[in-house]
Chains A and B, each alone.
Chain A
Amino acid sequence: MSTPDFVIVGSGAAGGVIAQELALAGFSIVVLEQGPYLKAQDFHHDELTTLYRFALTNDVHASPSTFRKTAADIAQPGGWVQYGRLVGGGTAHFTANYWRFHESDFVERTKLGAIPGTGFSDWPITYADLEPYYTKLEWDIGVSGQAGVSPFDPPRSRPYPMPPLPVKSSGVLFERAARRLGWHPFPAPMAIASQPYQGRNGCQHCGFCEFFGCEFGAKSSTLFTAIPRAEATGRCEIRPASYAVRIETDRRGRATGVVYYDAHKRERRQRAKAVILCCNGAETPRLLLLSSSPRFPNGLANSSGLVGKHLMFTGWTLTAGVFDEPLNEFKSVMVTRVLHDFYEADAKRGFYGGGGLDARFDFMPIGFALSGLPPDVPRWGAEYKRTLRQYYTRTMNVAGHTTSLPLESNTVSLDPTVKDAWGVPALRITYRDHPDDLAMMRFLQARGLELLNAAGAQRTWSFPVTEQSGSNHLLGTCRMGDDPGSSVVDKFHRAHDVPNLFLCDGSSFVTSGRGQPTCTIQALAYRAADHIARFARAGEIPSGS
């Protein structure tokens, strides 16, 4: 095979989309994916294997990470940084909540002013720049929802292509209570087909979306959408079990290809005219830091010193309520109703932040039995069993999804001692939530409890808000911006320092949004691919030699 136009590292939310768009535009592509290439028929509902033995995510034993709160501490193995490790990446196993960002998300710094001690900034693009790509995305991959119900929805040029998924009991209770409180619930936008769509099955309501792959292909993962389309062009090869460890550069500082280990841990090399990293907000900066060289002593594309910095997890809270009658929340999709009444930051609260609430049941059977019950219920014995039997079908949660401020001290870096199963320095996470982030979580958790009480719950409880030590939302670590001194990529996702290197995934985020990043990651990917194709056609991507 001659040198392909592009090598893309990562086949998930962004990598799958960019592979599709560039392949359709006529370019040749190799996609390196560290995980396996599973198909719908490979997926099942085995909670033990999937959640606790990492069937679809990075295995904490093969790929350990270390964690510390501040740079003054020595990081210890632990914390959790979770990402989809299979073709389709996070979109294969995600919950499929699919919120667009609002207009304010891109210009909050201008709107609210500086927040001292943080990297709070505007994005170099606006909602209007991204709107056409949100719309294209929703129709291309298939999103179910109902436009025009939420008064807080950002403007959109087209409705959703499919009606919302059928409401569950949690959604009915949530909606009723929210209206009683004067709030504005709306049907959850989900990247799940509510009816047959473009040759894919509609949802069969198996109840195993979050953390699981969809056995029916109804989840609108890149695994079932963008990637098959990319392969159908004959110009895109998906190469699973390929673990990228270094980007190579030539004497002029241009990328020449990617070094990776194959399934047998043999070192391989894939050359390409240009390199696109879509590994996620933890692995993209790690790969850049692993690619240091005499010309790039602090890591590739890191003249700003910001590669790996401004890590944002987004905030997360959970409350619970138990009701008189069975809800049977183990059926169907996780979420059917959402509200955005608290999305915007509000100075009256006394802290920065915003978020959304949703109705869900966030537990599979093992998880609920281990940790889903109220804290005062015995953890074993007859009373434990009685309560679990009563509560399992009658409990719902209200989840809060909130902001994280970008802090330069929250980082992804290379652990100086711990190595992964390939002998490569492990991910080291340094993270401490900003006090405003914790305040926002507590604020929204209180609204969740209010809602559950208004819904008529027999009793409610909440899971404590504490400083986070991990996430599956990994954002901000190669932020985009116009100034090469204060950002890693430009507004088209091109690395400021390397003209044929593009980075597009959660790492590009400037601010965190409100806890649901995937929709925006994918809209960015459509936009990035559009511009990358334009640059390539115009001969504006110089290749290495």
Chain B
Amino acid sequence: MSAFDSSRRRFLVDGGAALVTGWAAANLPGVRAALAHARRAATAATPAAFEFFTPDEAADIAAVAAQIWPADDMPGATEAGIAHFIDHLFANGADASCADVNFAIYDSPIGADPVGGSYAPLMRNGLAQLSTTAGRFATLPADQQRQALVAIETTSFFLLLRRMTVVGLFADPAHGGNVAKSGWRAIGFEDRFYWRPPFGAYDRDAHTGEGG
């Protein structure tokens, strides 16, 4: 079930009145298709093909994303399907919506606008430069990867890749990242969208005699 409709369904189950139905019925097929795509990509024995990037480019994107959000006792960017999420953004022409003007309130600027409506040149050039005489980035040992990223962490290329990785980790899974809600689970966000007090540790004893 998509996160979109879970609160509505819970509300109905819990006996909520006066609720208009229809949204879920109208939107679920598309949501399900997107979810299915993401799940296939993340769990299939043969990984889903990339639509936009070459296998080498996609492997480098996955390696950078895994350095940005490594696995610990919770899954990392790899398990969250970030490489496929980013590939999907570019394949659908949605990469330009990661521009600074879209994120003006909530992220410091990456300092580069899309060229011809796409970040593909910035991304491809950046990936090409990541690979050195020592080999493609994805094949380097982890500590060498980290060193290489420290050296470029203020570049537009890296900041764009970071923004896309973070968006993929914490956006609704319907967009293809955050597979199995692994980004949300890691930070403790629960997508019930339907709660009753107490909400947290400090309001546990605060609700006697309260309205609502």
A451 to chain B, nearest CB (A): 14
Per-residue CB contact flags for chain A residues 206-223 toward chain B (1 = under 8 Å, else 0) read 111000000111000000
- Are A332's CB and B188's CB within 8 A? no
Chain-B contact segment, one of A8-16, A380-388, A411-419, A518-526: A380-388
- Are B4's CB and A46's CB within 8 A? yes
- Are B199's CB and A323's CB within 8 A? no
- Are B162's CB and A164's CB within 8 A? no
Q: A41-B22, A326-B201, A331-B199 are in contact. Are A392 and B188 (CB under 8 A)?
A: yes
CA distance A388 to B199 in the complex (A): 20
User: What residues on B are CB-neighbors of A169 within 8 Å?
Assistant: 199-203
Q: A169-B203, A329-B200 are in contact. Are A365 and B189 (CB under 8 A)?
A: yes
Nearest CB to that of A365 among chain B residues?
B170
User: What residues on A are CB-neighbors of B19 within 8 Å?
Assistant: 201, 216
- Are A171's CB and B203's CB within 8 A? yes
Question: Which of A163, A201, A325, A381 is in CB contact (< 8 Å) with B16?
Answer: A201
Question: Which of B67, B70, B189 is in CB contact (< 8 Å) with A392?
Answer: B189
Residues of chain A in range 165-179 having any CB-CB distance to chain B below 8 Å: 165-173
Q: Is B83 an interface residue (CB 8 A)?
A: no
Most buried by A among B7, B101, B193, B199: B199
- Are B7's CB and A41's CB within 8 A? no
CA distance A331 to B20 in the complex (A): 23
Q: Is A205 an interface residue (CB 8 A)?
A: yes
- Are B211's CB and A41's CB within 8 A? no
- Are B197's CB and A366's CB within 8 A? no
Q: Is A60 an interface residue (CB 8 A)?
A: yes
User: What residues on A are CB-neighbors of B17 within 8 Å?
Assistant: 196, 201
- Are A385's CB and B70's CB within 8 A? yes
User: What residues on B are CB-neighbors of A217 within 8 Å?
Assistant: 18
- Are A384's CB and B202's CB within 8 A? no
Q: Is A204 an interface residue (CB 8 A)?
A: yes
Q: Is B172 an interface residue (CB 8 A)?
A: yes
User: What residues on B are CB-neighbors of A45 within 8 Å?
Assistant: 3-4, 7, 172, 191, 193
- Are A327's CB and B202's CB within 8 A? yes
- Are A470's CB and B104's CB within 8 A? yes
- Are B101's CB and A78's CB within 8 A? yes
CA distance A393 to B106 in the complex (A): 18
- Are A167's CB and B206's CB within 8 A? yes
A175 to chain B, nearest CB (A): 9
CA distance A216 to B4 in the complex (A): 13
Q: A169-B202, A169-B203, A216-B11 are in contact. Are A52 and B23 (CB under 8 A)?
A: no
Q: Is A423 an interface residue (CB 8 A)?
A: no
Residues of chain A in range 22-60 having any CB-CB distance to chain B below 8 Å: 39-48, 51-54, 60
Per-residue CB contact flags for chain B residues 80-121 toward chain A (1 = under 8 Å, else 0) read 000000000000000001100111111110000000000000
A263 to chain B, nearest CB (A): 19
- Are A381's CB and B101's CB within 8 A? no
Question: Which of A41, A195, A385 is in CB contact (< 8 Å) with B212?
Answer: A195
User: What residues on B are CB-neighbors of A332 within 8 Å?
Assistant: 195, 197, 199
Nearest CB to that of B14 among chain A residues?
A204
User: What residues on B are CB-neighbors of A459 within 8 Å?
Assistant: none
Question: Which of B70, B191, B197, B211 is in CB contact (< 8 Å) with A164?
Answer: B211
- Are B67's CB and A44's CB within 8 A? no
Chain-B contact segment, one of A107-115, A367-375, A536-544: A367-375
Q: Is B174 an interface residue (CB 8 A)?
A: yes
Most buried by B among A363, A366, A386: A366
Q: A201-B18, A205-B194, A206-B193 are in contact. Are A380 and B105 (CB under 8 A)?
A: no
Q: A78-B101, A201-B17, A386-B72 are in contact. Are A195 and B211 (CB under 8 A)?
A: yes
Q: Is A144 an interface residue (CB 8 A)?
A: yes
Q: Is A77 an interface residue (CB 8 A)?
A: yes
Per-residue CB contact flags for chain A residues 301-330 toward chain B (1 = under 8 Å, else 0) read 000000000000000000000010111111
| Known A44-B4, A385-B70; further 19 A-B contacts with Cβ < 8 A | A48-B172, A61-B101, A144-B211, A166-B212, A195-B211, A200-B18, A204-B194, A205-B197, A206-B193, A215-B23, A370-B166, A371-B106, A371-B107, A379-B153, A384-B68, A385-B72, A388-B186, A393-B187, A393-B200
Interface pairs (7), CB distance under 8 Å: A167-B210, A168-B200, A201-B19, A326-B200, A327-B202, A370-B166, A393-B189
Top 5 nearest A-B pairs by Cβ distance?
A: A163-B211, A194-B212, A325-B201, A169-B200, A41-B23
